[in-house]
């Protein structure tokens, strides 16, 4: 049985910013390809929510690499049978910055 996927406002904002950037920098085809990759990854995660590795410093958050530059961070809410997408972040950031952005979800 698959989990329902819910997005936080910050995750939706991150997603929209990435799509806009891709459209402006690389064109519509690149943005659509990214959207397809995210959709496929979320289909897999919703079926197998434990497939991605736990972020070392946050036991409730998992990280799924979408493309080498961007990772999707999510939490599995077992009781609710939900996967909550909390952020999409640039992997090239300082790891401490990423930890700080995710710390509110601990």
Give tens-digit pLDDT for 33-56.
Answer: 999 999 999 999 999 999 999 986
**Cα–Cα distances in angstroms (integers) from residue 99 to residues 87, 90, 104, in the given order:** 11, 12, 9
**pTM reported for the whole predicted model:** 0.92
DSSP codes, 7-32: E-HHHHHHHHHHHHHHHHHH-HHHHH
CATH number at residue 57: 3.30.2310.20
- Residue 87 is classified by DSSP as E
Domain count along the chain: 1
Contact 49, 3 (CB under 8 A): yes
- Give the model's pLDDT for residue 58: 67
Give the structural domain span for 29.
Answer: 4-105
């Amino acid at each position: 049985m698959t989990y329902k996927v819910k997005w936080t406002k910050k995750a939706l904002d991150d997603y929209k910013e990435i799509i806009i950037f891709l459209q402006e920098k690389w064109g519509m085809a690149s943005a659509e390809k990214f959207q397809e990759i995210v959709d496929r990854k979320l289909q897999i995660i919703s079926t197998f929510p434990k497939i991605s590795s736990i972020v070392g410093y946050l036991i409730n958050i998992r990280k799924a690499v979408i493309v080498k530059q961007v990772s999707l961070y999510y939490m599995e809410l077992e009781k609710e049978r939900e996967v909550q997408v909390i952020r999409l972040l640039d992997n090239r950031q300082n790891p401490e910055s990423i930890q700080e952005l995710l710390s509110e979800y601990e």
